Structure 1
Amino acid sequence: MNIADLARPEIRALAPYASARALADSAGILLNANENPWPPEGDAGLGLNRYPEPQPTELKKRLAAYYGVSPENLLLTRGSDEGIDLLMRAFVRPHADRVITCPPCFGMYALSARIQGAELVEIPLRESGDGFELDRAGLSKAGPAKLVFLCSPNNPTGDGLAAETVLELARRRADEGLVVIDEAYIEFSDRQSLASRVAQQPNLVVLRTLSKAFGLAGCRLGALIAHPKVIDLLRRIIPPYPLPTPAVAAAEAALEPEAVAARREQIDLLMDDKRRLVQALETHPAVRRVWPGEANFVLVRTTDGPALVRDAAAAGIRLRDQSAQPGLADCVRITLGTPEENTAFIEFLQDWKA
């Protein structure tokens, strides 16, 4: 099947908006975009009075090299959230198509499906001895869907998925829809990314972000990696200038070799200190279960999860209550901080009684 045939027919018929920067580069005298010719105070040479490239060439080149893919397989987005939204709008017909999620997972998959008017099918993860795992039988019986969302490492459980598990699911669903694997936390894991596999599996889509490991959450910069025909469809509906110039500059700086090496050292420090946090949690009398996972957070079940979140907040420490997620009653997600911040939480925990 031609992968483009899976998209909504009205999207296939669309021509992308032709912005001034898409029609001509920024060289020469610019009288084509109704911009102010003078930059604002404090511009610092960024050229903020000019519209940015729709898909910044240099950043796209650097990210493609980092992810090990061709630039034609890459779409730069405002965080992974925009990638999720674009996929919904391009492939899912309201009140006609289905979307599958596997909760507990990142809530934006289900929210975006509901906003689009999709039929949402939830196949919950199964709690096992070591963590949470896909219900493969449930997925096999779920029927066709335009989009299947997976997350590895999964938020909030921290579990990773084997590459062959994801690829097998994509192969089985090749004629009916896309399998989307969200790798927002992959840099914290020892697993290999599936980004390079999109060339062999046209209905596989990989979501990446600079928000987590690169420390650029405030820049809202993500990447969607897919077959060029999928990228072409999404470019028809993405806003003409999705990425602010300062965010692009920050991302390019973060991808310099020295900066990447420094981030790797920070991640190693973070994950080394994770063992100390896990030990403190496992020995606490009010903690019933600890799921260390493969990401920069730990999931725990306590005798009273909401109370832990409330009492920590009173001590100036913000945690995330996960009790509303399926199967996660009294569960709390704890993000790793600096060693000093982790120490502060451990000291709070030593005095905490549910």
Structure 2
Amino acid sequence: MQSPQSTQSNLSPLVPAYDSILELAPYQTGKPVEELTREYGISDVVKLASNENPRGCSPHVTLAVTEQLGQLSRYPDGNGYYLKQALADFNDVNADQITLGNGSDDLLDILARSFAGADDTIVYSQYAFIIYPMLAKMQGATAIEVPAHRFGHDLKAMSQAVQDSPSTKMVFIANPNNPTGTQLERKALREFVASVPSSVLVVLDEAYIEYSPESNNRALLEDFNNVVIVRTFSKAYGLAGLRVGYALSSVPVADLLNRIRQPFNVSRVALAAAAAALTDQDFIEKTRVTNDEQMRWLEKQFDALGLGFVKSHANFIMVEVKFEMEDTTAAMIHQALLEQGVIVRPLSAYGLPNWLRITVGLAEDNLRLIDTLRSILTED
């Protein structure tokens, strides 16, 4: 691996706008099924690494996608009119409060590019989504990581960090949080937003809101103009492969975001699929019920195996794989699972080397996981 200095010399005289860009490591995605098949020749793979919906997507989506196949030579509606109208009705907001994105990551990037520069500060929590510090580095901004409290956001400490840093322009909060699954109470979040200056943008990342409806903080938009709520169709709606998300904000903020975003950042297939997915809330309810049932089952199995975990309000669970034997590590367990066709997510990049993040799958997926994990842990 090249050091930042050698990378810069190779680029010379072309250098990045900010030195912090050289500190970035490429984002590590969950290992694709195809890659595992290539590496180990395993055809029967269970992927529990990327928090995808194991139920797939609504049949409404399949029909909507099929209807678009004859229009692939045409550009999409750059304004996403019909999807925005559907989202406005669903969230009880005006259409001009909505910004569409190529997944929620695209929107987080647009927000950072719109509001943070080299002289500014971005505040986020320890153990929160790894994209947040990456966005700060991309903008050359100062990043302040506030120590977590019981693996979740310490809102009082984050409020103090904002007060202590007059250059703060943005705060990122994931609720429920990825990768820990922790949840914040509405009252606590409202108090936090009220405690920070109105010039500080508070970004609530609600990628897993469908699994935790009580985490819906859309009401904050009525009282605070400095709040943006970012959501995605990649998780519960099962559209990870199409990449579509949306942001809810005040009209002035949405106007700025729509000036920055690419004109066709959401494909016509994704627009149609998302609009169709939104109409099938019965699918979302069944997804939530299945997830809750399987989450409880997994918790019991982890207890039986003597493995610690953090109570989760999303569609994944963070499990501690720590042993008295120094020669056994979470990385080794992760590798052993891979070799038997089970993909989970190691969390060393988050500073959690003894933990794995495991997506809640269907009953047969979870049984495969537990049987494989048990066999690994009980090997002589």
Q: TM-score, normalised by structure 2?
A: 0.76
CA drift of 1:44 comes to 5.6
Q: In the TM superposition, what whole-angstrom CA distance separates every residue of 1:326-348 from its partner, at most 9, and x where no partner exists? A: 3x230110001111111111111
2:113 to 80, 89, 96: 89
Tell me whether 1:322 sits opposite 2:347 in the alignment.
yes
Instruction: Provide the residue aligned with 1:199 in structure 2.
Output: 222
- Post-superposition, which runs of at least 4 consecutive aligned residues in structure 1 deviate over 4 A? 42-46
Alignment CA distance shift 1:188-1:138 (3 Å): closer
User: How many aligned positions are there?
Assistant: 304
What's the offset of the Cα at 1:135? 5.2
- Alignment correspondent of 2:61: none
Aligned residue number for residue 273 of structure 2 = 250
Alignment partner, residue 5 of structure 1: none
How many Å apart are 1:111 and its aligned residue? 0.6
2: distance between equivalents of 1:43 and 1:325?
42
1:72 aligns with 2:96: yes
Query: Is 1:137 paired with 2:148?
Result: no
Question: CA RMSD, aligned part only?
Answer: 1.8
List aligned pairs for 1:94-109, cutoff 5 A: 94=118, 96-109=119-132
Matched, 1:220 2:240: no
**Mapped contact 1:68–1:196 kept (Cα < 8 A):** no
Distance 1:232 1:158, change over 3 A: same
Distance 1:44 1:125 in 2: 45
Change in Cα spacing, 1:190 to 1:239, as seen in structure 2 (3 Å) is closer
Deviates more, 1:59-68 or 1:97-106: 59-68
The alignment status of 1:271 with 2:292, answered yes or no, reads yes
1:174 CA drift (Å): 3.0
Q: Which residue of 2 aligns with 1:296?
A: 315
- Amino-acid identity (%): 31
Letter of the 2:152 counterpart = F
CA distance in structure 1 between the partners assigned to 2:70 and 2:88 by the alignment: 23
Shift of 1:175: 3.2
CA distance in 2, matches of 1:152, 1:45: 36
Which residue in the other structure is 1:331 paired with?
355
Aligned mate of 1:281, from 274, 299, 302: 302
Q: 1:43 to 1:136 in 2, by over 3 A?
A: closer
Greater helix share, structure number: 2
CA distance in 1, matches of 2:121, 2:202: 13
Q: Matched residue of 1:308: which SS? A: helix
Residues 129-208 of structure 1 correspond to what in structure 2 (within 5 A)? 132-134=152-154, 136-137=156-157, 139-141=159-161, 142-144=164-166, 145-208=168-231
Matches within 5 A, 1:17-32: none
1:230 aligns with 2:260: no
One-letter amino acid of the counterpart of residue 64, structure 1: A
Runs of 5+ unmatched residues, structure 1: 1-41
TM-score, length-scaled by structure 1: 0.81
1 or 2 for the larger relative contact order (CA 8 Å, sep ≥6)?
2
CA distance in 2, matches of 1:158, 1:77: 24
Give the Å deviation of 1:45: 5.9
Conserved in 2, the CA contact under 8 Å of 1:67 and 1:196? Answer: no
User: Pick from 323, 331, 356: which aligns with 1:306?
Assistant: 331
